[in-house]
Amino acid sequence: MVSEVRKRSPEADSSHGEHSQSKRAKTASLQSATPYTRPHSKASVKIDSNGDKYWELSKMRRVTISTFRGRTMVNIREYYEKDGQELPGKKGISLPLDQFASLVTMLPEIEAVLKEQGQSIPRPGYTGSDSRQNESSDPDDDEEPTNSPKKNIEATSDEDDDED
């Protein structure tokens, strides 16, 4: 069988073209008018039906901390609603902690590239309980940093005594 090719009339093309151009203009103007609309307030932690903690990125996107086969994962995923329940969709990624740590260390470079492209992203304030603060409360960690500055001060003070 040979399929027939139908051609549009020139009037249909012009009316269709104008309609699609006006749509493009609207989306382009919306994107330029609102580059970033996320409020700067602290996101609240919620708990899903599995008992995992999550934060909402947008209406149907979440960052979830979950455990799978004994491994803690950071899950960034789209959700969909079915029968009144929000279920995880296909689009998303589950990062093990080592890969998530790599992503976090890359964020300053990513932010710099975005800044070069003219994008602006607000920086978070880490005023809450920080894992680095918790680590410094360990007795082993306190001994090591205090030894290094003392050695440095002693070395500096010896040099000052030699000059007098």
Residue 130 CA from chain centroid, whole number: 18
Per-residue pLDDT at 122: 86
- pLDDT tens, residue by residue, 9-58: 555 555 454 444 444 444 444 444 334 444 445 568 999 888 999 999 99
Per-residue pLDDT at 85: 86
Q: Name the nearest CA neighbour of 59 among 82, 85, 43, 78.
A: 78
Print burial letters for 56-93: b (CB count within 10 Å at least 16), e (below 16).
eeeeeebbbebeeeeeebbbbbebeeeeeeeebeeeee
Cα distance from N-terminal residue to C-terminal residue, the chain = 103
In terms of Cβ atoms closer than 10 Å to its own Cβ (0-12, 13-18, 19+), residue 100 is middle
Q: Name the nearest CA neighbour of 67 among 42, 48, 87, 80.
A: 48
Q: Name the nearest CA neighbour of 52 among 82, 73, 32, 24.
A: 73
Pairwise CA distance, residues 29 & 23, whole Å: 10
pTM (global) more than 0.85: no
The DSSP call for residue 49 is: T
Residue 99's pLDDT band (cuts 50, 70, 90): very high
46-112 belongs to CATH 2.30.31.10:
yes
Residue 105, Ramachandran bin (φ over 0: left; ψ between -120 and 50: alpha; else beta): alpha
Q: Name the nearest CA neighbour of 122 among 58, 56, 39, 14.
A: 39
Residue 121's pLDDT band (cuts 50, 70, 90): confident
